[in-house]
Amino acid sequence: MKKVGNHKSFSKIFFSVAFVLVTSLSAFAQDAAKGKELFNTNCAACHKLDAKATGPALRGVASKYDKEWLYKWIKNSGELIKSGDAQAVKVFEENNKVPMTAFPQLSNEDIDNILAYTSEPKPEPVVADTTANGGGGNEESGVSNNLILGVLSLVMMMLVVMLFLVNNMLTKIASAKGLEVEQKDRSVLNLFRAYAKNQFLVLVSAILLLLVSAYFAYGWMMQIGVDQGYEPVQPIHYSHRIHAGENGIDCKYCHSAARVSKHSNIPSLNVCMNCHKNISEVAETTATEEHSKAFYDGEIAKLYDAVGWDKSLQKYTGKTKPVKWVRIHNLPDHVYFNHSQHVTVAGVECQTCHGPVEEMEIMKQHAPLTMGWCINCHRETNVKVEDNAYYKKIHEELSKKYGVSQLTAAQMGGLECGKCHY
C-alpha cells in the first residue's frame, strides 16, 4: 500500500528552522563578545564606536566597506595605500594622514568577530530613575526631622502651660485654706548683691573665667596659618577618586617631580592629554549623585579648550588658555621640606601626608602640617634602611650607641632645628 504525504512532517521542519536560528543567534553573540575583547585589546587606543578619536568611529563600518577590502586594510593599511588603492588613499587623507597600525597577526575570523561587535546597534541611554529610594532620601529625611522638632516643641509648650496651671491651682488652694504664701525677693539686683558679698565665690569665678579665656585664646592663636580641611574649587574639576581610585593611576605619574625635587609639581596639561586625547567623555557608571556624566564631560571640554584641542579634527589649534589652579598645600617660607627626601629616600607613601586621595572627589588638605605634627612623625617613624645605602654607615654607628636595631628619624637627627629651618 502506498503512503500518502511528505515523510518530513511540518513539526520537524519548524524545529529544524528554529534550531538553525537559535544556533546562528548564539554564534553571533559569541562572535560579538570575542570581537569586543579583540577591539579593546587592539583598536580602542585609536578608535571609538560612536565618536571620532585618532581614527574614525567604527560602529557600522562593516556596512560601509567590502569585507575583503577590510581584511587587507586592517592587516596592512600602509601596503594598501602604497598600491594606489583609491579607497585606501581616500580614507587615509580623510583622517589627517595618520598611519594606521598594521595587524598581520589578526586572522580573517578575528576580524569577522571585531566587525560583528562594531555592527551591534547603539544601546539606548539609560535614564536615571529619580523616584527610586536613593533619589529623594535627603528631602524625606529633612521632612521627618522637621516633624520631630515640631512635635518636641509642642510637648515643651504643653509642659510649660501645665506647670503654669499647676502653680495657679496650688496658689488658689493655699488661699482657700487661709495659708499665707511667703513671697521671696528674687530680683536680679538682690542676687547680684549676694554674689558680690561672697568673696570666695567671686575669686573662684574670676580664676575660672581667666582659665577658660586663656584656653580659647590659645586654641584660636594656634590655628593661625593652619589650613587643615582647606578644599578650594578649581577652575577645572579634577576627581582624584576617578583617576587615583577607580583607574589606579600612580600619584607620581602626574606629580613626577616629587621623586627627584624639593617641590611636587602641578602636572602640565599635556600630561592630562596623554589619556584625554582619546577620552572625551566618561562612562555612565562614573556619575555620582553630586556630579552627573554631563558635568564630567563638560570639565573635559574645559581641558580641550585650555590646550586648544579640536575633538572633531583630532588636532591642536594652537589657541591655548592658562589654567589658574588654586594652591592647596602651602608651607611658610621659613620651612624647608624636600619631597624627594621623603618619597624616594625614605619611601613615605603620599597618603601619609595627603590622606586617602584615592577617595577624594575634591582634593583638600588632609593633615594640619604643623611643626608638632611633623615632629611627632619623626619621633614615631623608623628609618627604612633595607636596600638603602644612604643610611647604612650612620645607622650601624647609631644602633650601637643606642643599643637598638631600629632607629627613628628623631634618633638620626630629625629633630635638629637646622633640618627644617635655616
The string of DSSP letters for 299-340 reads HHHHHHHHHTEETTTTEE-S------PPP-----TT----HH
pLDDT at 207: 93
The cell numbers describing 271, all together, are 600630561
pLDDT at 213: 92
Taking 50 as the pLDDT cut, the residues of the chain under it are 1-8, 10, 13-15, 17-18, 21-22, 25, 128-142
Could you report the per-residue pLDDT of 228-258, keeping only the tens digit for each?
Answer: 999 999 999 999 999 999 999 999 999 999 9
Question: How many whole angstroms separate alpha carbon 386 and alpha carbon 29?
Answer: 54
248 Rama class: left (phi>0) / alpha (psi -120 to 50) / beta: left
The string of DSSP letters for 29-52 reads HHHHHHHHHHIIIIITTT--SSS-
pLDDT at 139: 43
pLDDT at 149: 80
pLDDT at 182: 64
Question: How many whole angstroms separate alpha carbon 269 and alpha carbon 54?
Answer: 19
Reduced to 3 states (helix: H, G, I; strand: E, B; else coil), residue 356 is: coil
